[in-house]
Structures are given as C-alpha cells and as structure tokens.
Amino acid sequence: MNKADKVLDIINILETEFPDPPIPLHHTDDYSLLIAVLLSAQCTDKRVNTITPLLFAKAATPEEMIKLTVEEIKEIIRPCGLSPRKSKAIYDLSHILIDRHNGKVPQSFEALEELPGVGHKTASVVMAQAFNVPAFPVDTHIHRLMYRWGLTNGKNVDQTEKDGKRLFPKEIWNDVHLQIIFFGRKYCPARGHKVEECPICSKYGRKGI
C-alpha cells in the first residue's frame, strides 16, 4: 500500500469514528473561543471548560475584561496553569482588540498572531473554528499521533503541520484535526496505548511507540 492509499484509509477510519467532530472548547462567540484556546496551552480542555464560565460570568467581552485587573483575571484562571502569563495576555489582547479592531477578533492569521499570548497554533484554531478558514492546527497530541502513524518524521510541530497540509485534502483540514484529537483520546493515549485495539495503529503504527 502506498502512502496515498494509507492516508485515504486513515481518513475513512477517522470519518467513520467521528463523522461530525464537535469543537472541544466551549464558547459562545469568537472572543470566548480565542480566550479558551489561549487558556488551553498546557492545560486540558476539560479543565478550561470548567474555568471559562467563571471568567466569562465576570467579563464576556473585551470591554468588560479590561475593567478587571490582571490580578483578578489571574485568580480566576489559576487552575489552568501559567496564570501570570495568561492573565496578562488576556488583559493586553483585550485592550488591543478595542484599540485596533473595534473590539472584534480579527479574521487573519497575521493580525491574530500579533496579539499577546497568541501563537500560530492558537491562531489556526480560531481561524478554523470561528471563521471556517482552512487551517491545520497541530498540538502535541496531533504531533504525537501523526508520528506514531508514520505521517511525519516527528522533527517538530511546524514540520507536522506542513506534512498534514500536504497529505490531507484542504477541504477536510478543519474537521480532520479535530477527528485526530478525539481519535487519540479514544484509541491512542500517550500512556497505556493498546496497539491491537486501535483501528489505525494496529495497521500502520510504528513499532515500539
């Protein structure tokens, strides 16, 4: 089987398992999604989803957020980890949204990546999930799984993103990155992985991983 056939088979497996993958971070608009994705760095989606309702109950818009102090934001988001850095980023980016973007989340990679605390992965998630622009966000889980399945050399997340965009059709990027995440949770955990029970790794997984 050549790589194109392998990729097509993996796509079919992912589509069968998760035909309509939900967005794992709870949100109500572009701004709440941006903040949730920022908070998810080195934190589980489950924990973020327990913290964001507390934060947005106090400040659901940039205008409301800048009325809080950085310290107040930090106390609310502390369970998400990296709270000093994330709280300052949330406060500062909220100011920038008001000053430069009329209080709206910008709809370009360049403008998003200029915001404090927003890297390429966060921008990609927002572009894909808020604005339906084709993107292939790569977190550590997608990076690990694509290496495990022999779809990338595992060099770094930038290379994995390039490989994902090259291997998967552009029109499915926004779904397939979510499908990989949910598939990993169900079948391909970092620890306790049972190769024989995984529909993909049992066929294509690298040995010893």
Domain identity same for 122 and 50? yes
Give the confidence band of 209 by pLDDT, cuts at 50, 70, 90.
Answer: low
The residue out of 107, 129, 151 marking a domain boundary is 129
Q: Tell me: do 37 and 99 sit in the same domain.
A: yes
- Report the predicted TM-score, pTM, of the whole model to 2 decimal places: 0.92
Kindly state the tokens that stand for 189.
Answer: 């955990």
Considering its fold, how many domains does the chain have in total?
2
Residues 6+ apart with CB under 8 A from 10: 149, 151, 200, 204
Q: What is the CATH number of the domain that holds 62?
A: 1.10.340.30
**What is the mean predicted confidence (pLDDT) over 61-90?**
98
Report whether 172 contacts 11 (CB < 8 A): yes
pLDDT tens-digit readout, 94-141: 999 999 999 999 999 999 999 999 999 999 999 999 999 999 999 988
Closest to 40 in 3D by CA, of 60, 26, 54: 26
Q: Quick one: 54 and 124 in the same domain? A: yes
Q: Are residues 60 and 45 in the same domain?
A: yes
pLDDT at 1: 72
Among 74, 86, 139, 175, which one carries the catalytic annotation?
A: 139
37 and 125 together in one domain? yes
Q: Which pLDDT score, from 0 to 100, does residue 207 have?
A: 62
Between CA 178 and CA 164 the distance in angstroms is 13
Mark which of 93, 114, 129 sits at the end of a domain.
129
Residues 6+ apart with CB under 8 A from 16: none
| 209, part of any domain | no
Q: Give mean pLDDT, residues 4-26.
A: 96
Identify whether residues 164 and 192 lie together within a single domain: yes
The residues, ordered by sequence, that sit 6+ positions from 165 with a Cβ below 8 Å of its Cβ are 136, 173
In terms of domains, do 117 and 177 share one? no
Q: Is 181 a domain residue?
A: yes
Which of the 8 DSSP states describes residue 205?
A: P
pLDDT at 205 over 90: no
Structural domain boundaries, residue 80: 30-129
Q: Are residues 148 and 106 part of one domain?
A: no
Last residue of a domain, one of 77, 111, 129: 129
The residue from 121, 162, 163, 165 that is catalytic is: 121
8-state DSSP, 79? G
Q: Is 104 a catalytic residue?
A: no
CATH code for position 159: 1.10.1670.10
Please answer whether residues 17 and 183 qualify as being in contact, where contact means their C-beta atoms are separated by less than 8 angstroms: yes
